[in-house]
């Protein structure tokens, strides 16, 4: 029997931990040939390659090398390059993950040529159309043939938008699989020591959303607030390339380097970053994934955004939204709360990849 070719599209940093567990699960199946397609949206060594090694992924089988650009440039370049790859490869299934520009671009290229397409992490909605990711999610979910959701709110959003229930399979949160896949390696490190931090007595900070970092005044306000809060709790802040450029442009390096308790780092590997998260007291972020990872671990998280597409993290009581001017009171509140909270979300159990494999078998009529 010929194996079924399954394209796993990986593009940007948050995608790599979503394809890894699925790649490993499909590799075990006699009928499946998982093929990693890297669009090249993220290309720096520490934004891409280190994630492949941490997650035991092989080199991408196909590399589209699109790089950075405006939204239209990046989306267009991915569509053109991936259309060509589809024509040459003829996959049996295309799997896109998350909500980055490449997710939408590859879905559009694939469905227009009639290739069956599945979206892993379907149904999340911030209801904020100023976010590029919300547009990517809406477009991807409206064209994909199979919709794999992480939680009940995902199903509800899709049904409200008119998706047929036959397309939706609730599979759980694949990011948890990645964390569990390399948990022993994450726990074997003590990265916080390298930065003279004590376990459960520091905050991990990440910021990269255009709405927080592209406007110099907003970025200055956020950086100054972080500097002040770091006098209360030491902070470690791996800086995303977009944020790094904007810190330089806003001329904030002087102020930030004077703050002895706020350590700015280059972007770091998945394993090292997760070790910092596992041992922190608090996360301050605008990332989607970190809201979920902290909730799973029962760690307090302050999300510097007016909304979230992951409301379940708020319901669990670990995550809270914050404006820059509310950060001080939210930090105080988080530090007054428990160090770890017991959380449990149905299907966030490290077995999502197995459920995705079963769903593929069902949708492609593959007998066990
Ligand atoms: C993208 C995703 C965002 C995701 C984030 C995680 C979209 C619309 N946004 O945002 O949803 O949360 O990835 O990081 O798809 N750059 C480098 N090296 C790299 C990659 C980027 O220096 O390897 C710089 C470039 O100057 C680039 C800028 O970062 O212009 C932004 O990169 P881009 O991929 O456009 O968006 P992100 O902000 O990373």
C-alpha of residue 43 to centroid of ligand 1, in Å: 10
The 3-state DSSP class for residue 345 equals: coil
- Give, for ligand 1, the residue of 41, 79, 210, 238 to mutate: max count of ligand atoms closer than 8 Å to Cβ: 41
Residues 322-355 have pLDDT tens digits of 999 999 999 999 999 999 999 999 999 999 999 9
Q: Which of 348, 330, 318, 325 is nearest to 224 (CA)?
A: 325
- State how far the Cα of 168 lies from the Cα of 171, in Å rounded to an integer: 9
Q: Are 324 and 286 in contact (CB under 8 A)?
A: no
Residue 12 CB–ligand 1 contact under 6 Å: yes
- Give the pLDDT of residue 368: 63
User: Where do the domains of the chain lie, and which CATH numbers do they carry?
Assistant: 4-172+348-363 (3.40.50.2000), 184-336 (3.40.50.2000)
Q: Are 281 and 202 in contact (CB under 8 A)?
A: yes
- State how far the Cα of 218 lies from the Cα of 362, in Å rounded to an integer: 48
Residues 244-257 have pLDDT tens digits of 999 999 999 998 99
Active site residues: 208
- State how far the Cα of 123 lies from the Cα of 143, in Å rounded to an integer: 12
Model pTM score: 0.97
Nearest CA to ligand 1 atom 20: 42
Please report which confidence band the pLDDT of residue 1 belongs to, taking 50, 70 and 90 as the band edges.
confident
- The residues facing 206 across adjacent strands are 285
- State how far the Cα of 323 lies from the Cα of 4, in Å rounded to an integer: 48
The two three-digit tokens of residue 23, written as one number: 């790649």
Q: Are 171 and 146 in contact (CB under 8 A)?
A: no
- State how far the Cα of 310 lies from the Cα of 320, in Å rounded to an integer: 11
- Residue 367 pLDDT greater than 90, yes or no: no
Q: Are 304 and 334 in contact (CB under 8 A)?
A: no
Residues 108-145 have pLDDT tens digits of 999 999 999 999 999 999 999 999 999 999 999 999 99
Q: Span 213-239, mean pLDDT?
A: 97
Q: Span 272-276, mean pLDDT?
A: 98
Q: What does the mean pLDDT of the chain come to?
A: 97
Q: Are 300 and 294 in contact (CB under 8 A)?
A: yes
Residues 80-117 have pLDDT tens digits of 999 999 999 999 999 999 999 999 999 999 999 999 99
Q: Which of 303, 139, 82 is nearest to 205 (CA)?
A: 303
Q: How many CB atoms lie within 10 A of CB 255?
A: 15
């Amino acid at each position: 029997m010929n194996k079924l070719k399954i394209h796993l599209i990986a593009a940007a940093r948050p995608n790599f931990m979503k394809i890894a567990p699925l790649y490993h699960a499909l590799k075990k199946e006699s009928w499946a040939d998982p093929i990693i397609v890297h669009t090249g949206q993220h290309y720096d060594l520490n934004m891409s390659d280190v994630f492949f090694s941490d997650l035991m992924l092989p080199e991408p089988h196909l590399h589209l090398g699109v790089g950075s650009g405006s939204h239209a440039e990046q989306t267009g370049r991915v569509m053109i390059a991936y259309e060509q790859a589809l024509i040459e490869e003829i996959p049996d299934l295309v799997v896109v993950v998350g909500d980055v520009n490449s997710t939408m671009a590859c879905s559009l290229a694939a469905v227009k040529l009639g290739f069956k397409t599945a979206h892993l992490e379907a149904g999340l909605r911030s209801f904020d159309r100023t976010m590029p990711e919300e547009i990517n999610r809406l477009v991807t979910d409206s064209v994909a043939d199979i919709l794999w959701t992480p939680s009940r709110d995902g199903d509800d959003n899709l049904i409200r938008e008119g998706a047929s229930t036959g397309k939706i399979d609730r599979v759980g949160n694949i990011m948890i699989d990645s964390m569990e896949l390399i948990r022993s390696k994450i726990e074997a490190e003590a990265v916080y020591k390298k930065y003279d931090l004590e376990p459960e007595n520091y905050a991990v900070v990440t910021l990269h959303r255009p709405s927080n970092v592209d406007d110099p005044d907003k970025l200055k306000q956020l950086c100054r607030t972080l500097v002040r809060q770091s006098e209360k709790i030491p902070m470690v802040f791996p800086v995303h390339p977009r944020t790094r450029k904007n810190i330089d442009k806003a001329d904030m390096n002087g102020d930030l380097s004077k703050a002895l308790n706020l350590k700015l780092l280059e972007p770091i590997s998945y394993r090292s970053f997760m070790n910092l998260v596992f041992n922190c007291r608090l996360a301050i972020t605008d990332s989607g994934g970190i809201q979920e990872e902290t909730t799973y671990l029962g760690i307090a998280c302050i999300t510097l955004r007016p909304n979230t597409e992951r409301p379940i993290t708020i319901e669990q009581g670990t995550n809270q939204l914050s404006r820059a001017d509310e950060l001080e009171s939210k930090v105080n509140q988080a530090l007054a709360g428990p160090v770890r909270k017991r959380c449990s979300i149905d299907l966030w159990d490290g077995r999502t990849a197995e459920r995705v494999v079963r769903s593929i078998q069902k949708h492609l009529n593959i007998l066990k």
